[in-house]
């Protein structure tokens, strides 16, 4: 497996593969890899000849008081996992590579407001602006044919798809289903913050969302009531609810009763740890 930290190192590998006629897939990550990330790498291998995984903890998508400084950084372990997963190159840029003139004087993008200012965006103002800024830079540096993202961060997936459409990137976005523990907890780097006592409470998130999907399938028009019932159920397990929302899968607008595909999304606090999850629901 190749390694690159600078633009020149990355471009040398990409030029070599392009001359050989290879299709290239990019898997953007912030590291601290788990089975969910490795599923993205596996999906990337199905869609391209060469797979590049980037590892960069992007300061632009963290707000004041969030966990940027303590976000788990496990680069040596990540490299070993990627090599075992047959990744072709790991790109580990520093701030000077991603933001050559510093974050404060960098060119930034604004995410589409209709997608970026609700749910996660309402709770974390500016978060998706930071996401599209760094993802666009990675796309520009790598020039992939395919980019792979997980459905666990469903709103992020839609935001990035919109950016690709709006800016005309000639690449395909491939979504990958959420990877879960045997008890349903969505794989996340932040799960490392959970101690054994809080792990059981965190697992209730998937259980409550699953119950919401079942209720919604029986009574699609009652989605506001299902939202409230799910919120109450989560609170009764000891979780502090940020939001519970049932939205159209295509654009996160409120359902109008005619939408065949919706998503049940939630964000909760389990002690000091914030967790997000979502489930698909087919209504017709």
198-220 per-position pLDDT tens digit: 888 899 999 999 999 999 989 88
Given the candidates 3.40.50.10440, 3.30.1300.10, 3.30.56.10, 3.30.70.270, the CATH classification of the domain at 189-279 is 3.30.1300.10
Q: For 209-257, write each residue's pLDDT tens digit.
A: 999 999 998 988 899 999 999 999 999 999 999 999 999 999 999 998 7
Q: Mean of the pLDDT values across residues 50-62?
A: 97
Q: What is the pLDDT of residue 155?
A: 98
In which order are the strands placed within the sheet that holds 261-270? 240-248, 261-270, 273-282
Tokens 């930034």, residue located: 108
Given the candidates 3.40.50.620, 3.30.750.24, 3.30.1330.60, 2.40.50.140, the CATH classification of the domain at 2-176 is 3.40.50.620
* Residues in Cβ contact with 90 at an 8 Å cutoff, skipping those fewer than 6 apart: 1, 2, 3, 4, 52, 53, 54, 55, 78, 79, 82
Separation between Cα atoms, residue 224 and residue 81, nearest integer Å: 43
Which DSSP state fits 180? B
Tokens encoding 99: 């933001």
Residue-range domain boundaries for the chain: 2-176, 189-279
Whether 37 is a known active-site residue: answer yes
Residue 70 pLDDT class (50, 70, 90 cuts): very high
Q: For 99-149, write each residue's pLDDT tens digit.
A: 999 999 999 999 999 999 999 999 999 999 999 999 999 999 999 999 999
Rounded to 5°, angle at Cα 31 from 25 and 37: 55
Lowest-confidence range among 85-94, 163-172, 211-220?
Answer: 211-220
Residue 90 pLDDT class (50, 70, 90 cuts): very high
Q: What is the pLDDT of residue 257?
A: 74
CB 225 within 8 A of CB 216: no
- Catalytic position from the list 34, 37, 127, 206: 37
Separation between Cα atoms, residue 241 and residue 236, nearest integer Å: 10
Per-residue burial over 265-274, b if 16 or more Cβ lie within 10 Å, else e, is bbbbebeebb
Q: What is the pLDDT of residue 30?
A: 97
Query: Which residues are paired to 268 by β-bridges?
Result: 241, 275
What predicted TM-score, i.e. pTM, was given to this entire model? 0.96
């Amino acid at each position: 497996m190749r390694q690159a930290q600078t633009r020149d190192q990355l471009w040398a590998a990409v030029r070599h593969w392009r001359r050989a006629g290879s299709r290239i897939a990019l898997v953007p990550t912030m590291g601290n890899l788990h089975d969910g990330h490795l599923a993205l790498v596996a999906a990337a291998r199905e869609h391209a000849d060469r797979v590049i995984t980037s590892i960069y903890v992007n300061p632009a998508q963290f707000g004041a008081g969030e966990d940027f400084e303590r976000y788990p950084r496990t680069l040596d372990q990540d490299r070993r996992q990627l090599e075992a997963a047959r990744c072709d190159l790991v790109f580990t840029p520093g701030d000077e590579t991603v933001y050559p003139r510093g974050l404060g004087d960098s060119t930034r993008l604004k995410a589409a407001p209709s997608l970026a200012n609700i749910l996660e965006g309402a709770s974390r103002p500016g978060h998706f602006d930071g996401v599209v800024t760094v993802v666009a830079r990675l796309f520009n540096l790598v020039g992939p044919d395919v980019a792979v993202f997980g459905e666990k961060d469903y709103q992020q997936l839609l935001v990035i798809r919109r950016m690709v459409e709006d800016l005309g990137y000639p690449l395909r976005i491939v979504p990958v289903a959420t990877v879960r523990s045997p008890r349903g907890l969505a794989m996340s780097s932040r799960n490392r913050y959970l101690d054994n006592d809080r792990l059981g409470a965190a697992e209730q998130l998937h259980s409550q969302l699953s119950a919401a999907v079942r209720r919604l399938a029986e009574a699609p028009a009652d989605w506001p009531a299902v939202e409230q019932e799910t919120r109450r159920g989560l609170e009764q397990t000891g979780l502090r609810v940020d939001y519970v929302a049932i939205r159209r899968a295509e654009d996160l607008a409120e359902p109008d009763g005619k939408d065949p595909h919706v998503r049940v999304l939630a964000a909760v606090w389990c002690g000091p740890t914030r967790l997000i999850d979502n489930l698909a629901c087919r209504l017709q």
